[in-house]
Amino acid sequence: MEFRIADTFTDSLAKLTSQEQKATKTAAFDLQLNPTSSGLRFHKLDRAKDPNFWSVSANMDIRLIVHRTDTSLLLCYVNHHDDAYNWARRRKIERHPKTGAAQLVEVRETVEEVIVHQPVAKAVPHKPRLFAHTSADDLLAYGVPQEWLEDVQAATEDSLFDVVEHLPQEAAEALLELATGGTPQKPKPLPDDSDPFNHPDAQRRFRIMNNVDELERALKYPWEKWTVFLHPSQRSLVERDCTGTTRVSGSAGTGKTIVGLHRAVYLAHLYPQANILLTTFSPPLANALAVKLERLVGSEGALKDRIEVKAIHDVAQELYTATHGPPAIVDGDELRSHLLATADQLCPGKFAETFLWNEWSEVVDPWQLTTWEAYRDVPRLGRKTRLGSRQREILWQVFEQVQQWLKAEDALTWAGVLDQVTNDITSAGDFPYTFAVVDEAQDMGVAELRFFAAIGTQRPDSLFFTGDLGQRIFQQPFSWKALGIDIRGRSQTLTINYRTSHQIRASADRLLPSTISDVDGNQEDRRNTVSVFNGPAPSVEVHDSPEDEIESVGEWIANHLTMGLQPEEIGVFVRDRPQLDRAITAIKAAGAMPVELDDHIACAPGRIAVSTMHLAKGLEFRAVVVMACDDEVIPQQERIESVADESDLEEVYNTERHLLYVALTRARDYLLVSGVDPASEFLDDL
């Protein structure tokens, strides 16, 4: 007998208390081990629209709703007795007449039973129907259930989300894409004699549990649906037979990291002898990946041992140490001081301090330019400031002396460590990893990409990148192709946003252009991204003083705590450390306790997370406050004033916009953006 679990079951399980969840899981395991046991207390739901719905008692009050046939058993829903029965009486599982996919359809009968029944066009006749020019046959081909066709045809801009929340995922996503001007791809229909549960759209909501370990993983973290259920577009990328280096892009919340995690596990299953690296640019993000991987693979210890999860600098340090001993990494502040002192000695006042440091950290060091000829001839990709040959000669004298100083100190930069490790791999042909899956790739630097390029020489599918050019906040643009990584024709964009409400996503998207290109001309189109759920519009407030802002933010946080949000479901972000005190004071004014995040401290139960925007990467909260968005704070005045050439201003503004975008898109349901008059010019865009 096939044993399946539905995503509606994990959704409902997550809403129960811990004791209720424990009883539910025990019943679920008993069902899997012996689905015909007389001790399970099956009860047929006589008034249900689907004759195959049964209830199973987890305790005196909790009921599991299961769909049982002679050959299969499907866990559908769990709740308290009356709520569980009411849910089942309004649902049925059926094969879609067009696509052939198994769907869990909400039954549409009377106004009392289903919220959205009266065609919206009658209630709001002055609003144009969104799908007036889409035929009924096309709507059905997108997966719209037959009995919801009338409501879909009557939907307007105001009622769209009220309708789609009752529809299967593929239909909801297609309608949202149509409504925003896109042309969704129609699901490929299954042959009439095939199993409807084998359709890709059915597999995103119904998954076979082959053993107790798989069921345990599915039930252990019910809110982490991605461990079991994947969108067909995500699954196709995970299981793709890549003919070359592949990059998966998409705006915040589209599931890029999830695809990367599943790709690493898929490769580990497919190639049992392979060593797999799952990496990103920072230790906190690597730690978050490790936690997610643990939830994904569960007790498959051998599998987990073959997937190494580390930040890229930790990888480089480990590989370097194995061959050369521990590297002596130069302190960044000490290096900068020595660079400026050398320049002051050789060419006092000729170059701005910021320009000198940027030229070293963005050109000379990452590209590991060790000769005058190499510096003279290097393409200055990502650097807009023009330099004459005489200027370069003077600059090289400075950089050459800095390199001699590093050598005398037996010290290395991280770029130097990576360069040595890359050279070791290339010369010896001894590869530490068969595959590398790289998350947040847009913030990897030149030296890191050169290392990955060396790994990628083994086989066409060795490299798999995920990232979003719109979230690039740490790196200047540079050419991947120049380093041997060519993704042309193999860059895929995810367009379904699962994390952020339509209103928050639409507001944040106004900060960025609709399309973003990298240096090699690869383009990321953000226009067709749709969010799968609705929510309140974000609030944007400009206050007369910091004290007024603190009071208002404190009230906003207190109100949301009163609404039932837990402190750990709220995050507060500011541009830089000088604004942290305002954020902490606002949290305390709400009667809550803050936890200040850094590279080592993560979110804590019972506390509201507060940090700078740079540390927001990889985080997610139900409610977010982005405060202290004042003029000269974002974009940061110090960065603007340090620009040596006006042509570099564009890059400063771009990364500042990206930074604010990252902070805003940490929010799932609620967002408040605030500042003090005069406020940041970016708030006008929101």
Q: What is the pLDDT of residues 171-183, one digit of tens each?
A: 999 999 999 888 8
554 annotated as ligand-binding: no
pLDDT tens for 133-152 read 999 999 999 999 999 999 99
Rounded mean pLDDT, 17-28: 94
Consult the annotation and say whether 370 binds a ligand. no
278-318 pLDDT, tens per residue?
999 999 899 999 999 998 988 777 888 899 999 999 999 99
- The answer to whether the beta carbons of residues 76 and 164 sit under 8 Å apart is no
254 is in an annotated binding site: yes
- Residue 14 annotated in ligand binding: no
pLDDT digits (tens, 9 = 90+) for 94-113: 999 999 999 999 998 654 44
Residue 255 assigned ligand-binding role: yes
Rounded CA-CA distance 164/148 in Å is 10
Q: Residue 122: exposed, middle, or buried by beta-carbon count in 10 A (0-12, 13-18, 19+)?
A: exposed
C-alpha–C-alpha distance, residues 592 and 625, integer Å: 14
Amino acid symbol at 330: V
Is 493 labelled as part of a ligand binding site?
Answer: no
pTM: 0.88
Retrieve residue 523's tokens.
Answer: 């383009």
Least confident of 200-204, 308-312, 374-378: 374-378
**Quick one: pLDDT at residue 600?**
58
Residue 20 corresponds to which tokens in the numbers above? 């209720």
Determine contact, residues 154/119, Cβ cutoff 8 Å: yes
Side chain identity, residue 108: R
Confidence at residue 384, expressed as pLDDT on a 0 to 100 scale: 55
Dist CA 587 CA 594 (whole Å): 6
**CB 499, CB 620: distance < 8 Å:** yes
Backbone phi, psi, residue 149, to 5°: -60, -40
Task: Say yes or no to pLDDT of 662 above 70.
Answer: yes
Residue with tokens 């409400």: 501
- Ligand-binding annotation for 252, yes or no, is yes
Alpha carbon 206 to its chain's center: 23
331-342 pLDDT per residue, tens: 999 999 999 999
416 is in an annotated binding site: no
